[in-house]
Structures are given as C-alpha cells and as structure tokens.
Amino acid sequence: MASWADEISAIIEKNIAGFDGGETETASVGTVIAVQDGIARVYGLQDVKYLELVEFPRTGIMGMAFNLEEETVSCPILGDYTHIQEDDEVRTTGRVISVPVGDALIGRVVNPLGEPLDDKGPINTDKTRFVERIAPGVITRQAVDTPVQTGLKAIDSMIPIGRGQRELIIGDRQTGKSAIAIDTIINQKGKNLICIYVAIGQKNSTIARTVEILEQHGAMEHTIVVAASASEPAPLKYLAPYSGCAMGEEFMETGRDALIVYDDLTKHAEAYRNISLIIRRPPGREAYPGDVFYLHSRLLERAARLNKDYGGGSLTALPLIETKANDISAYIPTNVISITDGQIFLETDLFNAGIRPAINVGLSVSRVGSNAQTRAMRQVAGTLRLDLAQFRELAAFAQFASDLDKATRSRLERGQRLTEVLKQPQYSPVPVEKQVMIIYAANSGYLDDVPLDLISRWEAEFYRYMDANHPEIGQTIIEKSVNSKEKMSDELLKQLNAAIEEYKQTAAPRPNQEDQAKKAEEARKAAAQGANAAGSTTEGSTMETPAQTNQAR
C-alpha cells in the first residue's frame, strides 16, 4: 500500500516540478464588428489598456486601442485597413505602443512604429520606449542657457533659440518654414546635437528630397527621420510626433542634447480630427475635438532642459504650423503659440520681395532664448531688432515724402543694408563668429557706401578675406565670447576695425568696376541682339523688348 501511495505522490510531484507558470500567456480576444476609414470597432477585449497595441492575427496588422467604450473598443489600424474585415479576430498584446530608441537609429529613416523605411537593414537595438509619456516635472528642469546655433543670421541675432526651448516656426505655405528647420539641422554638424526630423503628411517625394539634401550635406550622420507621409493612414500621422519625441527623450535622459522638428503640426491636428470624427467624439471649434490643445501641449511639454542631477540633457523642439492667409489667430496657431516659448513668423509678402528667410521681425519673438545667446552676438546685435523696427516705421513714412533730410536718409540707408545683410540663401549656414563680424561691420557703418546689390558679394568675400588674412580674430571671438562669456574687448574690436578697413581698401568688390563691367556686358548683349534681329526677321524676335525691335527697324 505504502509503495502505491508513494508512487502516486511521486508522479504528482513530478508533474508539479514540470509546471512552469511563466510561459502561460493570456490575451483578451474580440471580434471586429465594423471597419470604417481605418478605424476598427471591436467587440470584446475587456482587459485592453488605453493605447495598447492590438493584433489582427489573420493579417498580422497591428492597431491601437484608442477609444474605450462601454461595449466596444475603437482601434485605429496601423497599416493597410482594406485587408481587415468584419468578424476578424482581434487580440491584445499586453504592450503599450513603444518604439526602438538609441544610437542605432541615427542616420536612419523610420516609420512611426520605428520600422526602417530605408534600405540599410534592420535596426539593432533592444531598447524601447513608450511613445506617450508624462513630461519631466519642474523639479527635474533647469533654465535654458546654451544656444542652438541655427546658422541663420536673422535667427541667431534676433530670435535666439536655447537648448531645451520650444520655438514655433509659423507661416503660410511655401514661405520657407521647412527650409529654416533643415538649415538648422545641417548646421549641427560636429556640434553635439542629435536631430530628429518628423515629417507628417508630406508628399513621399518631398520627404525623399529632404533626406537626400540632408545626406548631401553630411547631416544624416547626426539625424533620425521619422516619416508618416500623406499617403499613410491618419493613425500613423497621429503617432509620428510622439514616436519622434520618445526617440529624442532617450538622448535627453542619457545626458545628451537633441533637437526635434515637427513638420508640421497642422497636419498632425488634422489627422487627429479625422480619427476623432470617425470615432464620434463631439466636434468643437473648426470641427476639432475639445482636447486638441492637450494633443499638442502634452507633446511639446516633453521638450526640456534637465538639471545636473538628472543628467543635464536637453530636448529642443521646433514645431511648424501652417497658417492660411497669415492668420495667426486661427484655432490651432493660437493654441501652439501659447504652448511654445516664442515664434518665428514667416510672411509671403516678404518672401516674394526677396527677403529670405522671410522673417517678420516685429511679430517674431524668443521668450527664453536671449539668456542662451552667445556674449559676442548679444554685444553686436543687442539693438538690431529696435533698429530694424525704427527703419520699417521710417520707410513706411518715407514712401510719401519727396525730399528727406540727411539724418533720415542715412537711417534708411543703414536699415536697407541691415536687411540685406540678414538675407541668406538655403543650405549655407554661417558660423557664429562670422555672423558677429558681418553684423558688427553693418552696424558700424562700414557697409554704408556699398551699393545694395553688391552686399552679398561683399559679405562672401569678406568671410574669405578674414579666413585668409586674419583667422586669429575669429578664433579669439570663439574662445572668449562664444565658448566663455567675456565681452569682446576694445583691443579685439580695434583689430576687427583695422581688418575691415584693410579689406575695404584692398580686396572688397568696388561699385565702379562692377558697374562698368555690367554696363559693358549689357552694351555687348544689346549689340548682339540688335544684329540678330536685323539678320533674321522670324527667329529670336520673341525675346526682344519693343524698344529693341524699334531700334532694329
């Protein structure tokens, strides 16, 4: 008897020993009862969590639990929703949406789920982060005090951006919003600032072109691109900025500096409006749901400068917003203006007038960045905003005046030259010491006798001249007044004055020569055209001005 009982207990013991509780998995299972414009309405899924990933096992497509209702769950589908049918099974995964993060992503183009879109193979990282997180609290933060050099003279001098700041870039379509963000990314080469460019709702061709430009300028080496193009379903566009932000937070929390560009949040808000209307959240102003402010505030609050105890890292955010007919008082623009620490306002009129970047100096501000501005720049550009404002006012009046007194005229001339100096072509960031030198030159009147159309050449050659003949001045500016906070000394300014004088005497482009060369060239062209028109009556006549035609006859 005893041996029989022993045998049974041995068998039971063996069975118990073989039981491994860790391997069992539970999942709520539900069924799709309707699919509508990329949103599946699912019955069941009692245990699902908000923003949990759910799987449609028949197709392998994922979705996210977005609206938890009494009987059903609305799940935006993260993929091609045309494959999902009524009665499909849905399973919870137990994972809240997260993306891969870390250095392995640098140089890559990924979708909002962190899956590679380029042909550089899988992303080798086992670190992930939740896409939605609560922003760092007040205790962990520190004041913004280190600059982000955009390399754009107009921004670095008048609307300086600090690491950890949120600066909005706002303007109508085709005013150069993306251009500012991309130039800023290009300028970060070798500056220890990792960049993340989140493209939301742009054409695939535009995104491909942006990536190509970044590659050409060697900027992909420090950049991650998160792309949710216009052809992607709204849920992916909705997710994109949060995913990019999670990637940025990883750098911030490991004590590094990162910059994130959201291009643009108007399309993000529209994607969210899309989803909300389909899941029947009540529409409010402009048909956006009531919590559209929270959509952007919880995103932008995650940009921060952490204090030393928390690693001292930072995440700077440059959100973009598109306006209609310069109306910055529309719903989404006012929301984002109130969330950010300042805005760069771009205008079509200025853009068309050739003032590029088309920054409206009066309406653009940086509320925290001036603390972060380099000492040298603050010294030379301190009064720049004011000077330009006075110039604009004066220029508006001077339109009606016939003859002006000398002081007014010289003010106007100076203003025009400052405006000219602040123009800048795309993809050509200017290092900070050169910005300081040219703004100093303009402010001190060295450009007053240079004709307006010569200024950009004067400037380019000035940089070259300084590099070749006085590299020590630039170096001193960097050492003393950029890397440390000393004022530029009188001695240094004296050297700079002397160098500019010398440049003007010897190498600067001369108006006279230039004019003469131009006139000669024009005369030559006119003569050639005249001969042409006289020789043939049928061809080439479409290009002529009436005056020339008369002359030929």
Q: Which residues are catalytic?
A: 367
Q: Is 230 left (phi over 0), alpha (psi -120 to 50) or beta?
A: alpha
In the window 192-251, what residues touch ligand ATP (CB under 6 A)? Answer: none
User: Can you tell me the distance from the alpha carbon of 281 to that of 74, in angstroms, rounded to the nearest whole number?
Assistant: 11
Residue 464 contacts which entry, Mg ion, ligand ATP, none (Cβ below 5-8 A, type-dependent): none
**67-71, long-range: CB within 8 Å, 24+ apart, which pairs?**
67/279, 67/281, 71/43
Q: Interacting stretch for ligand ATP, rule CB under 6 A, among 20-28, 177-185, 217-225, 501-509?
A: 177-185
Between 154 and 258, CB nearer to ligand ATP: 154
Q: Is 174 in the site for ligand ATP (CB under 6 A)?
A: yes
Question: Do residues 266 and 260 lie in contact, with contact meaning Cβ atoms separated by under 8 Å?
Answer: no
Q: Which single residue brings its beta carbon nearest to Mg ion?
A: 178
178 binds Mg ion, rule: CB under 5 A: yes
> Residues near 207 by Cβ (< 8 Å), separated by ≥ 6?
199, 225, 227, 229
CB 350 within 8 A of CB 122: no
Nearer to Mg ion, 178 or 374 (CB): 178
Looking at the Cβ atoms of 178 and 223, the one nearer to Mg ion is 178
| Residue 175 binds ligand ATP, judged by CB under 6 A | yes
Spatial neighbors of 513 by CB under 8 A, at least 6 apart, are none
Structure tokens at 429: 């960031």
In sequence order, what DSSP letters do the residues of 475-504 get, joined into one string?
HHIIIIIIIS-PPPPHHHHHHHHHHHHHHH
> Among all chains, which residue has been given the structure tokens 């995650």?
302
CB of 200 to Mg ion, least distance (A): 10
| Minimum CB–partner distance for residue 182 and Mg ion (Å) | 9
Site pattern 83..102 for ligand ATP (x: CB under 6 A) = --------------------
Shortest distance (Å) from residue 167 CB to ligand ATP:
15
Burial of 117 (C-beta count, 10 Å sphere; 0-12/13-18/19+): middle
Number of residues in contact with ligand ATP under rule CB under 6 A: 14
Where b means 16+ CB within 10 Å and e means fewer, 17-42 reads eeeeeeeeeebbebebeebeebbbbb
- Which listed range, 67-75, 169-177, 267-275, 530-538, lies at the site for ligand ATP (CB under 6 A)? 169-177
Site membership for Mg ion, residue 67 (CB under 5 A) = no
Cβ pair 223, 247 in contact under 8 A: no
Cβ 169 to ligand ATP shortest distance, Å: 8
Listed ranges 143-151, 175-183, 325-333, 442-450: which one lies at the site for ligand ATP (CB under 6 A): 175-183
Element (H, E) at 16: helix 2-18
Task: For the CB of residue 178, give the shortest distance to ligand ATP in the complex, in Å.
Answer: 3
Taking the C-alpha atoms of residue 195 and residue 155, their distance in angstroms, rounded to an integer, is: 18
Q: To the nearest whole angstrom, how small is the minimum distance from the Cβ of residue 320 to Mg ion?
A: 7
Rule CB under 6 A: say whether 173 interacts with ligand ATP. Answer: yes
Query: Residue 266 interacts with Mg ion (CB under 5 A)?
Result: no
168 sits in which H/E element: strand 168-171
Rule CB under 6 A: is residue 178 a binding residue for ligand ATP?
yes
Using CB under 6 A as the binding rule, the residues of this chain from 312 to 371 that contact ligand ATP are: 322, 356-357
- Residue among 181 and 376 whose Cβ is closer to ligand ATP: 181
Residue 41 interacts with ligand ATP (CB under 6 A)? no
DSSP characters over 33-78? EEEETTEEEEEE-TTPPTTEEEEETTTTEEEE--EE-SSEEEEEEE
Closest approach of ligand ATP to the CB of residue 138, in Å: 34
In angstroms, what is the minimal distance from the CB of 284 to ligand ATP?
26
What SS3 state is found at 121?
Answer: coil
Residue closer to Mg ion (CB basis): 51 or 240: 240
The stretch among 24-32, 75-83, 172-180, 323-331 that binds ligand ATP (CB under 6 A) is 172-180
For residues 67 and 266, which CB has a smaller minimum distance to ligand ATP in the complex? 266
Structure-block tokens of residue 213: 């430009």
Distance spanning both ends of the chain, measured CA to CA: 133
Nearest residue (CB) to Mg ion, 170 versus 496 = 170
* Preceding peptide of 451 cis, ω within 30°: no
Q: Locate the DSSP E strands across 350-410.
A: 365-366
Give residues with Cβ within 8 angstroms of 353, minimum separation 6: none
Q: Which residues contact 325 (CB under 8 A, 6 or more apart)?
A: 172
Rounded to 5 degrees, φ, ψ at 259 are -130, 130
Number of residues engaging Mg ion in binding (CB under 5 A): 1
Whole-angstrom distance, CA of residue 421 vs CA of residue 442 = 8
Q: Of these partners, ligand ATP, Mg ion, none, which one is at the site of residue 322 (CB under 5 to 8 Å by kind)?
A: ligand ATP
Question: Residue 408, interface with ligand ATP (CB under 6 A)?
Answer: no
Pick between residue 416 and residue 426 the one whose CB is nearest to ligand ATP.
426
Among 129, 153, 177, 222, binds ligand ATP (CB under 6 A): 177
Residue 175 contact partner, candidates ligand ATP, Mg ion, none, CB within 5 to 8 A by sort of partner: ligand ATP
Q: Among residues 44, 176, 333, 474, which is the contact residue for ligand ATP, using CB under 6 A?
A: 176
Least distance (Å) from ligand ATP to the CB of residue 356? 4
List 149, 316, 323, 424, residue binding ligand ATP (CB under 6 A): 424
Catalog residues that contact Mg ion under the rule CB under 5 A: 178
Catalog residues that contact ligand ATP under the rule CB under 6 A: 171, 173-179, 322, 356-357, 424-426
